[in-house]
Every structure is written in C-alpha cells, then in structure tokens.
Structure 1
Amino acid sequence: MSTERKSTPEAPEPAAPGPRPGRLTAAAALSALEGVALAAGGVYMLVMGLAGSPDDPRQAETGGVTLIVLALLPLLAARGLLKQRRWSRGPAIITQIMALPVAWQLLQADSAAIPAGIALAVVAIASLVLLVHPATTEALGIRGPGHVQDQK
C-alpha cells in the first residue's frame, strides 16, 4: 500500500491567483489594524493586571489574555486575504459583525470612548463593504449562490 497521493484526471488544479485588487488589500489592512488594536489592548490589560493595581487583578489578566487570543482571528484573516485564500473572507466578515455591537456600546458611553466607537464603526462598515464587493469575491474565487461547477 502506497502513501503516495494519486491525482485523478477529473480533479481540477487550483487556479493561480490573479493580481490582488486594491479593495482586497484594503480589507486585509483594516482587518490587520483591528487585530493589532485587540492585541495591544490585551497586552495593556495583562501588564496592568500583573504590574498595576487594578480592582481585580485576576479579571484584568483574564481579560488581557482573552483579547490577545481574540486578536488572532482578524490577524489570520488579514494574512489569508493578502494571500487570496478563499477561507479568509468568512473570519474577516465575522470579525466585522462582532465589532459592530462593540462600537454601538462605545457610542452609548458618556466618555472619551465615543471617538473610539465612531472609529470602530467606520472601520467595521468599511471592511464589510470591501469584503462583499464583487471584485473581492472574484479575486478570492468565491462564486455566488446558484453557480455550480460543471460536473461530467
């Protein structure tokens, strides 16, 4: 029994990605920006939990680790978008959808968090628009509903 992989003549080879549209690059940059912001916030919370004097150090440390782990989703999605990987659009869209309620909560605050809410909402909406644009979906090789590949 051989462990060698055999290709079948019916299996189509993956198409080489074409030139990356600017919209896809912009979506990747915005996703990476969100990931970096989450990681920075997580590191800040973790450091303040360990070295600072928060009300509840355990809660600050847990929150910091949680934000750092959550930062992986948009960072991986951004990397996938730059490499034109089809799977990366889903995590990128999920990240933007999750950012909208956070932006809404920041906008409801009576503090300096309002500008952060505005910025987050603008980035999330702009990213969503870029991610669902036909040029982006075409560059990622995503077909709309009803487009079934020809089968022999």
Structure 2
Amino acid sequence: MSTERKTTPEAPESPESGPRPARVTAAAALVALEGLALLAGGVYMLALGISGSPDDAKQAWTGGITLMVLALLPLLAARGLLKLRRWSRGPAIITQIMALPVAWQMLQANSAAIPAGIVLALCAVVSLVLLINPATTEALGVQGPGNVQDQK
C-alpha cells in the first residue's frame, strides 16, 4: 500500500471566468422562484398540520415535508446555475419538465388554481427555453452528443 498521493486532473467547474450571461441568471431566478414556491407550500401544509385544521394531520405533515424536500432540487440547481456549474442544468431541466404536468392539472381545476397554473406553465416554458439556449449551454460548458472528448 502506497502512501503517495495520487493526483488526477480535474475538469474546471466553470469553463468561463468572465461574467455570467443574462440568460443563465434569468433561468436561475425562475428555477429559484419555483423552489421557493415549493418551500412556501410545504411550510403552509406543515402549518395546517400543526394548527389541526386539515382533514388529516398526518397527510398534511407528510405533504409538507415532501414539498420542502422537493424544493431542494430547484434551489440547489439555481445556486449551481448562478455559479455556472455544468451539473446544474440537468436538475433544472428536470424540474421544469415535472412542473408542466402540475401546471396542466392546475389549469383543469375550477378554482383559484387556474391563475397559478398559468404562471407555473409560463415559468416552466420560459425556463426550458433559457436552459436549452445555445448561449446557456456554452456558458455552462455543456457539450453536445457529437462533441465527446477523448479521455485516454
């Protein structure tokens, strides 16, 4: 067993050291907004569970904790986008894709959820457009499927 330290070349986290493009900042803001909305919904459900006003307190607790844990994905992705981390684009895109069916269900309701569904759908579509924009992928250092580098 050797006590020598093995060094491996590490890929740079940020391909550019210049300023962050506005598209990336806007995408990060929208993703963070969705994360904060999930967090607020989770806190609201927990508050209902604590106050005893829901039909089922266990369901309120479980739903509230679930929403708060789910809020971590977009919040971490938004932070990664702000720091121009390559890995953050995937979770951000997944969050937007998951938001579209939720928005669709909200639009099917006959209640005050319809305006919220419209806002959620707009946020998700605009975020997806910003995240797949070539300027965003270049700023994050994301390479297309045909641009795989040799790692020998």
What's the TM-score once normalised by structure 2's chain length? 0.92
Q: Equivalent residues in 2 for 1:104-115 (5 A)?
A: 104-115=104-115
Q: Once structures 1 and 2 are overlaid, which stretch shifts more, 114-123 or 141-150?
A: 141-150
In structure 2, the partner of 1:5 is 6
1:132 maps to what in 2? 132
CA distance in 2, matches of 1:34, 1:61: 21
Percent identity between matched residues is 73
Structure-to-structure mapping, 1:1-152, within 5 angstroms: 1-7=2-8, 11=9, 14=12, 15-149=15-149
The one-character-per-residue Cα deviations of 1:34-78 (angstroms, maximum 9, x if unpaired) are 000000000000011111311101001100000000000000000
Distance in 1 between the 2:98 and 2:132 partners? 16
> Offset of 1:18 from its aligned partner?
3.1
TM-score norm. by structure 1 comes to 0.92
Summarize the Cα distance change of 1:145–1:13 in structure 2 as closer, same or farther, 3 Å threshold.
Answer: closer
Contact 2:36–2:71, Cα closer than 8 Å, also in 1: yes
Aligned residue pairs total: 149
Q: Secondary structure at the match of 2:84?
A: coil
Q: In terms of mean alpha carbon deviation, does 74-83 or 12-21 score higher?
A: 12-21
Gaps of 5+ in 2: none
Q: CA RMSD in A?
A: 1.6
Q: Which runs of 5+ in 1 are unaligned?
A: none
Deviation at 1:144, TM superposition (A): 1.1
CA distance in structure 2 between the aligned counterparts of 1:133 and 1:47, rounded to whole angstroms? 39
Segment of structure 1 superposing worse, 13-22 or 29-38: 13-22
* 1-structure distance, mates of 2:62, 2:135: 40
